[in-house]
Structure formats: C-alpha cells, structure tokens
Structure 1
Amino acid sequence: MIFKVLFQERAEEAPVRERTKSLYVEANTEREVRTKLADRNINIEYVQGLNEEHLAYEKQSEDFEVENI
C-alpha cells in the first residue's frame, strides 16, 4: 500500500501549514512507515493510506514520487 506522509522538515518546530511537505512511502502499515522514517529528523504530522482513487489523483501531480526506503 502507498501512504502519504505530511511532515515538517524540522522535528523541533511546531507544525505550520505553509511549511508542511509531503512524501509517499510504500509499506504494509502506518507503523512500518513511521519505523522507516524514524532515522530522519522530521516531524510527522499525519500518515494517510491511499485507496485506489486517491492514489490515481495523487499520481497526476508532477511532485508524485514514491520514496524507496
């Protein structure tokens, strides 16, 4: 399954919508996503599993790229 991760680049900062970034990770569970990203110094706001329709929508974005972790 593909998960969309919304995050802030610096773990110590409070979330600010204008600085929220996203990335896409392939994993089986949300816990696996968080484990894969644990070594990065980021503040994960939200992890969302994408169904087929939502994934098709996200793929239309030029910024869509699944991270290989």
Structure 2
Amino acid sequence: MIFKVLYQETKEEVPLRENTRTVYVEADDELEVRRKLYEREWNVEFIQPLEGAHLEYEKKSKNFEVEKL
C-alpha cells in the first residue's frame, strides 16, 4: 500500500502549511511507515493511506514519486 506522509523538516519547526513537505512511502501499514521514517528527524504531521481513485489522482501529480526505504 502507498502512504502519503506530510511532515516538517525538523521536530523543532512549528507546523506551517507553507513549510509542509510530502513524501510517498510503500508499506504494509502506518506503523511500518513510522518505523521506516524513525531515523529521520522529521516532525510527521499526518500519514494517509492512498488507494483507489485517490491514489490515481496523486499519481498524476508531478511530485509523485514513491520513496525507496
């Protein structure tokens, strides 16, 4: 399954929409995503599973690239 992760670059950074970054990760569940990203010093705001029409919509984005972790 593909997950969309919204995050800030550092844990100290105050979450602002303008500074929010996105990464797409392939994993079995949200816990696995968190384990894969644990080493990064990110402030993870939200992890959203993508499937069906929503996944197809995200794939059309020029920024869609599944991160290999």
Share of identical aligned residues, percent? 57
Give, in angstroms, the shift of residue 42 of structure 1.
0.6
Q: Which residue of 2 aligns with 1:34?
A: 34
Q: Could you tell me which amino acid in structure 2 is paired with residue 64 of structure 1?
A: F
Give, in angstroms, the shift of residue 52 of structure 1.
1.4
Counterparts of 1:1-69 in structure 2, within 5 Å, are 1-69=1-69
Compute the RMSD of aligned alpha carbons: 0.6
Give, in angstroms, the shift of residue 14 of structure 1.
1.7
TM-score normalised by structure 2 residue count: 0.96
Aligned to 2:64, what secondary structure does the other structure show? Answer: coil
4+ residue runs over 2 A deviation: none
CA distance in structure 2 between the partners assigned to 1:19 and 1:32 by the alignment: 25
Task: Note the residue ranges of structure 2 that are not aligned, 5 or more in a row.
Answer: none
CA distance in structure 1 between the partners assigned to 2:28 and 2:14 by the alignment: 28
Residue deviations 1:25-57 (CA, integer Å, cap 9, x gap):
000010100000000011000000011111100
TM-score normalised by structure 1 residue count: 0.96
Task: Note the residue ranges of structure 1 that are not aligned, 5 or more in a row.
Answer: none
